[in-house]
Structure 1
Amino acid sequence: MIGTMVDSSEHDDEADASDDRARTTAERRPDDRGDDSRHAPADDSTARLDAALRLLQEAVFAARGGGPLAPTSDDPTRLGGCGLGAGPNLDVAVLGAGASETARAAAAFLWPAGLDESRAARVREVIAGWVKRQDGLDRRRNHFIKDFRGEHGFDRTTYSDEIRAAYEHGVEAVNADNRARHVEAAHAVLSA
């Protein structure tokens, strides 16, 4: 398994794969990568944070129409050249009717008694803010990659060790910022 050193004589990969298939998307934590950490019991605050992270991910996915945003033009230079289109659709349902199964499960876990309209409005506002911010973070990552490739070439196999390290460091810096902002937004959902 990726990221886990396992002695194959002590681990049944086929049974583990079956276990992964049996778990629904709503049951998986955002950081589920197939390692055994998912079997460790999570305290309530960690479980709530994980549910808020899932809810935010679902909002971004829904805002993209189930996939990457489609360009609104055949000329990508008009859109900044990052391939993410004109922007996210902020009029998406992530609470209540129309929400995905994963979003409904996360919301039911977070608010088993439901939300009054005032709190639901605050949660929707936080989610809309996250969707916009995530769109900007995705564009930032895409622009970094585009600019880096423009300077050093598209084929990373031709990069020197120094250039490859700079590329990986740059992408990781953007991704680390994205992860930190995602957690901040999840805390905002929980406190809305």
Structure 2
Amino acid sequence: MTQDEATRDRVVRVADELFYTRGVQAVGMDAVRAAAGVPLKRIYALFGSKDELILAVLRHRMSVWDAGIAAEAERAATARDRILAIFDFLDAWFREPDFRGCGFINAFGELGAASPAVTEAVREQKSTFQEYLARLVAETGAPADLAPQLAILAEGAQTTAAISGTPEAARQARAAAVTLLDAAIHHAGDLVPG
């Protein structure tokens, strides 16, 4: 990793933590500069604007999300278990002391109406997650319309856990996912000519 890449990575990680814990609009570039220990002129040379930094943070957060789900799914033997592993990942995340909900939903809530670029980045992450679920649902043999239903459970669990301040939403969403999966897989089995 070059020095520029290392500095860029440090600024993104620091900005991510600040934006996530305090809110994007509440954090100025001076706060990022102070926390990262990088001169403001250097930050602007790397990112150009706060908007570019926000998008870099969202890309970083997407890679962290994807890696977290992939790591949890690695331990699962079947597509059904990989789907349920998403809710296990959420349960562990909701128990972290700094959990503040979905960073994408938070950014959209703060900036979506004013920033088409943030809206697009958030939609891309949500779409990518639904596509991942769609592949897993297809592997189970369940109907395709199960994927968006499971995505809504995961998204709703994130919002509910953030508002309630407890991790219970992950367990509840997982139980609902089990019910939906088992019903859909059973129904799909009934449709297969025997």
* TM-score (ref. length: structure 1): 0.28
Higher relative contact order (CA 8 A, sep 6+): 1
Higher relative helix content: 2
